[in-house]
Amino acid sequence: MYSEKFLKFIEMWDKDFGISRTIDEKVCVDRDGNPIPWYTYPAIEYLSQFDYTSKKIFEFGCGNSSLFWANRAQKVISIEDNPKWFEKWQKEFKHPSLNILWRDEGEIYEKAILENKECYDVIVIDGKRRAQCAQTAVQRLDQGGIIVLDDSDRVNTSLEYQNAISILRQFGLIQIDFYGFCPMNNYTKTTSLFLSRDFNFQSKFDVQPINGLGNLWSMSRKERKEKYKAQK
């Protein structure tokens, strides 16, 4: 019923992205079981290129993304508003770089980032009250940093997202939208990055972009020829 090439495409999604596991088990992990954010795969691959060893991360919204960042960054502060989830993450997420804080859903939530004068290289807005979080996030974004706004495609139907995006753009940040599939879902969405105009993160690799998952050019010339030959 399906062509061999199409079946190879399905095999790539299952083998390289581990998509069936994330959907069936409802867990955000890569093909090797490592935690990844609930962002779109293109956004995850783009962000994964950079060296965060000296970076400080602040998250509005806790989850596997917290471990993803903690495994890469010098320091991660993640805010959770749900007491049950906070208790769960506190027990399960043991990492020396990660500090999970509970803050109520009201104004105290978005003001958590203002509790000290520290600035952050990456600020993730992926929880409650996203417009209000955007308003405080821009006050604590360090020079050359990034703000991540997940589920940004909701701007089409949500005034909250319209306001959040408007705030970030008015601050002078450059919006880059990453459309595509994401872990745990069988439909697409959008993760938007808002880059400072002096964005200066260093790549972990000699070249950029690197070859993404399932990319043909990660193969040698001989391997590419054999792959094409097998598909004919």
User: What is the pLDDT at residue 228?
Assistant: 53
Q: Tell which wins on pLDDT, 22 or 225.
A: 22
User: What is the pLDDT at residue 137?
Assistant: 98
Output the average pLDDT for the chain: 92
Asked if 121 and 75 count as a contact pair (C-beta separation under 8 A), the reply is no
User: What is the pLDDT at residue 217?
Assistant: 67
Q: Each residue of 54-87: pLDDT tens digit?
A: 999 999 999 999 999 999 999 999 999 988 989 9
Rounded to the nearest 5 percent, the helix, strand and coil shares of the chain are 40, 20, 40
Q: Tell which wins on pLDDT, 86 or 140.
A: 140
- How far is the C-alpha of 33 from the C-alpha of 10, rounded, in Å? 19
Amino acid at the residue 189: K
Residue range 32-60: mean pLDDT, rounded: 97
| Structural domains of the chain, ranges and CATH numbers in brackets | 1-17+216-232 (no CATH), 22-212 (3.40.50.150)
- How far is the C-alpha of 227 from the C-alpha of 232, rounded, in Å? 9
Residues 6+ apart with CB under 8 A from 133: 60, 109, 110, 113, 125, 127, 164
First-to-last alpha carbon distance for the chain, in angstroms, is 17
